[in-house]
Structure 1
């Protein structure tokens, strides 16, 4: 009820000019031998034409007479669905230029509800952040086969508070969620946090989604972050513009939340597949992973630097990050996202891949291979090799020959 009423009152404030009035009236009445409560919210705003009054409860409805960019969004739709859950209704009466009245009416007799719908204890008052809406219920069954992953950070960039609230409420059941109302704010969040996926609207003030996408994808330190763009523009040219900006996916508004949840899951699964493929492959084949050119070049450079220092057992992260022209924290974030390996693990993985190539020669000893790829202890080399490829260097060499 808190959320339903909040959305209706908030809507009244949006469309009532300065010096106007908003009135909230609550009263009880009896109808068909059942007690009801009715709560009306009246304003002296711009009003709604008769032919549009039946559309105000549709998702992403926009008042044609409004000069406000972000109008009803989904707030009234949420209120409508929540009141239906209470076996009630929301009515609207309005006249252009004179204002509108929205009236909530719900039964307050126990007989109006089933046993499953009644609780005998006073509920804890929920903060609006915790409140579940009908849109969350719609996709809960779809989410059951997804395991919550608290290691994934998702950033939602959306200037419409209603849409932002709904997306955040649903995604935070699975991921760590950050929010921003425009691209400029999003960039500040990206600087200070290890973001995995950005879900962004296209049309926003200060910095729009396309500029945000171009900035993220054009910076080596952030180019690995996946981006999904949401937009009401549906022309082919608009889609081309989104993909030219570097987006990993495009979803048209209005959209089904189940689609967004599935697209995010799909992006994460593809990323994990690339990570596993890179780590498990005993050869270095970066070009087969399908990374964008900037990320592919980064990995190529990262491998080449290790190869140039392959036998140097003193080669360390400080030297490595300097040669790649990245801070140690940026290097860690970049490699971890692209390969699931820390810088130390990545260096060891490349050394072991080269060891695999050398072990194809039956005349070379395990110790020689170990020293050649930067290990000072052949036993430790054998342990690392077995952990990486699930067989000892000796077993591998025999299998190859």
Structure 2
């Protein structure tokens, strides 16, 4: 859109004033000009097709400029439809009345060509910039919505969780939400073909597009890892790939584990991840998952550890937003608080959803960081 594409409405009861203003607009290459002799006629023309700017006289028969502008502002904001009063009334009170009625700007009669040209040019250029910004925002919103849908498809839906659970003798539930349109958390589960659940939960540093792209990278890499690989071997492989791909300063915390429901055993390797939890017999205990973050160091080493899990226990993994989000300057939960929540909600039917409900009762709205929670237990 350029000035030549803009449409201007001139509202003045004197034909020679309208003709003079139209000639000045033509000098700005503005040829889409309509004219009206009073406020009533002006409103009718706006209703048929909204202009990009109105040049409006004050003193007119039938309906004056003040009344017309007040009626316009019931529908259109200043950014939607700028109105420049062109009036012989030039006292401070009269100027104030123009702005009180909803005017965007004003110029005094007798008409000064360069002043009119300058003010019209400024307001129309602003209008053009706003239109471009709105178009950009709409396009960006659509693109982010599409990207979010793609990202959501990278993680298992409930049908896939049920399938993996049936193949491994487990019940798997999850809850995930992002702090913005695109998230930096990645999680996935799969069965290894031998009755074990393979789980990965990772959290890329930062927010926005870069972490979201890294999530797609990690999804691809997770698919390449052999299902039978030991957790430390999987982490070494993921680290080597991410180190080659990520720019300096980008990395991920992660937990990679293999859950054997038949033997009641969870083998895992951590990469600076938050601790995970075992909930059993009315108690909740956490297990540290230390290790260097993924993608930060070339020759990072990881260790496979194993913990025993009883037949009626639930394994609970979460990203750091669950404990590190703050309310009134304090973390939303420490280890004692989270342990109490886990025990109280262990029989809720879905530990992740129950914890999410607690989280949002304390902190309504989108979380300040991506929030991911996974629970796994034997059937």
Q: Of the two structures, which has the highest relative contact order with CA contacts closer than 8 Å and spacing of 6 or more?
A: 2
The reply to whether TM is greater than 0.5 is no
TM-score by length of 1: 0.36
TM-score by length of 2: 0.38
Bigger radius of gyration among the two: 2
Greater per-residue strand proportion: 2
